[in-house]
Amino acid sequence: MAAVGPHISISAERIFSVGPLHVTNSIITSLVVSGLLILFAVWVRMSLRKTNRPTGIQNFAEWMVESLTGLVHSVTNNKARTELFFPTIATFFLVIISNNWFGLLPGVGTIMVSGEGEKAEEIVFAPSNIVIKNPVPVVYASELEVDNAQVAPETENALEQGVVNDIEAAATAHLDTDTTEHSELVPLFRAGTADLNMTIALGILSVGLTQYYGFTYLSFGYFKKYINFSSPIDFMVGVLEIVLEFAKIISFAFRLFGNIFAGEVLLAVIGFLVAVIAPMPFYGLELFVGFIQALVFSMLSVVLFNMATISHDEH
């Protein structure tokens, strides 16, 4: 595939394994991005000075914090809630936008290493180059004969002989190939948010925190939203609310994943068709999409947090 077309894989590929943990290229990229964010935070902390006219990195960091506080405050309109939600929302925004933009750097998706693929799903017989896809414990002679006839046209005698050999080989080869893993070239880096696992994790975090903030503000009154026996209509609405919470996770996850992954596919295809100049406007578009998706995720999160903390009697 890598030779004939752009490398497109809907899931992150495994680079290596640490025990039961499969380290994929998305995990590596997320770790790199997290490291860079931590370094940035430390750098800002080291260069903080008490002054009325901040310059350089301090100015930039203060501008970021100020804009994000403004974003949160524009939804909550309440100082206490802004201060409660700000750290989470700012973290969401910064992590998502840096992961989105890191995926646009040159080298991400183009530096290939040999990764650990899935378990071998095909058996290749050395003497005749017969390939059996998705091997099953039972091998039918007729299937082998068909394959053999296509791959190597031989005389009938030799064919029969070959089939017998192959059946014998299959019996032994199957045991051998069962545990082997075939490696192929996979990208070393892949944007963290272009992996569904990452976006689902972010979605679960956001929806889970919604419940947490709702509970801290309204205590057990919060669950009246879900379980309410005061009238049949309220009960059904509660059931719908429960379903809606799970729909929110899926909606969060697929919106972010879809946008970033679609962007990667778009860039890969355009870059494959026309290598120079043509992909440039699409990089601009992807920078914009990356920013908008980070904004949408954090904006929606803060709206949901805010809605959870307001009791039904208030509004």
Partner 1 sequence: MGTEFAVALVMGIGTIAPGLAIGMMVSKGLEAIGRNPEAASKIQTNMILGVAFAEAIAIYALVVALILKFV
Residues that bind partner 1 in the complex, under the rule CB under 8 A: 8-10, 251, 254-255, 257-259, 261-262, 265, 292-293, 295-296, 299
Q: Which is nearer to partner 1, 14 or 222 (CB)?
A: 14
Give least dist CB 39 to partner 1, A.
30
Give least dist CB 168 to partner 1, A.
35
One-letter identity of residue 46: M
Give least dist CB 136 to partner 1, A.
21
Q: Which is nearer to partner 1, 8 or 38 (CB)?
A: 8
Q: Which is nearer to partner 1, 10 or 149 (CB)?
A: 10
Q: Which is nearer to partner 1, 69 or 228 (CB)?
A: 69
One-letter identity of residue 16: F
Tokens 């949901």: give the residue.
304
Q: Which is nearer to partner 1, 74 or 161 (CB)?
A: 74
Q: Which is nearer to partner 1, 32 or 296 (CB)?
A: 296
Q: Which is nearer to partner 1, 23 or 292 (CB)?
A: 292
Query: What gap in Å lies between CA 221 and CA 225, rounded to an integer?
Result: 8
Query: What gap in Å lies between CA 63 and CA 82, rounded to an integer?
Result: 17
Give least dist CB 295 to partner 1, A.
7
Cβ atoms 145, 162 nearer than 8 A: no
And the tokens for 62? 């203060």
Cβ atoms 84, 167 nearer than 8 A: no
Give least dist CB 59 to partner 1, A.
22
Tokens 């032994």: give the residue.
172
Q: Which of 68, 69, 78, 97 is nearest to 213 (CA)?
A: 78
Q: Which of 103, 110, 146, 111 is nearest to 128 (CA)?
A: 146
And the tokens for 226? 């879900």
Q: Which is nearer to partner 1, 159 or 295 (CB)?
A: 295
Give least dist CB 25 to partner 1, A.
17
Give least dist CB 144 to partner 1, A.
27
Give least dist CB 210 to partner 1, A.
18
